[in-house]
Amino acid sequence: MNTVRPEYPRPQVVRNDWKSLNGEWNFAFDDDNVGLKQKWYKIFPSNEKKITVPFAYQTEKSGINDPSFHDVVWYNTTFEV
């Protein structure tokens, strides 16, 4: 995964074992607040968008650039520990 911020964000407290989760994630607005009921945590919706983390969805760098407010949003990715 290419990292957006390759440096550790707080170098004064660097930990030996940490993993950056920056990069491309799946993203979905849940304006109807149905994600829990429909178990989006198991099966993410097919109308997902891609977002670049760590940027907020309102910013251009996120790749979404939606300035409106949404009460509920979902992020999804996979990684190994």
Q: What is the pTM of this model?
A: 0.81
6 vs 15, more confident = 15
Q: Is residue 4 part of a domain?
A: no
Q: Is residue 60 part of a domain?
A: yes
Q: Is residue 40 part of a domain?
A: yes
Task: Provide the pLDDT for residue 1.
Answer: 47
Task: Provide the pLDDT for residue 2.
Answer: 52
Q: Is residue 79 part of a domain?
A: yes
Task: Provide the pLDDT for residue 48.
Answer: 93
Buried b or exposed e, range 24-55, using 16+ CB within 10 angstroms: ebbbbbbeeeebeeeebeeebbeebbebbbbb
Domain count, the chain: 1
16 vs 42, more confident = 42
Domain enclosing residue 30, as ranges: 21-81
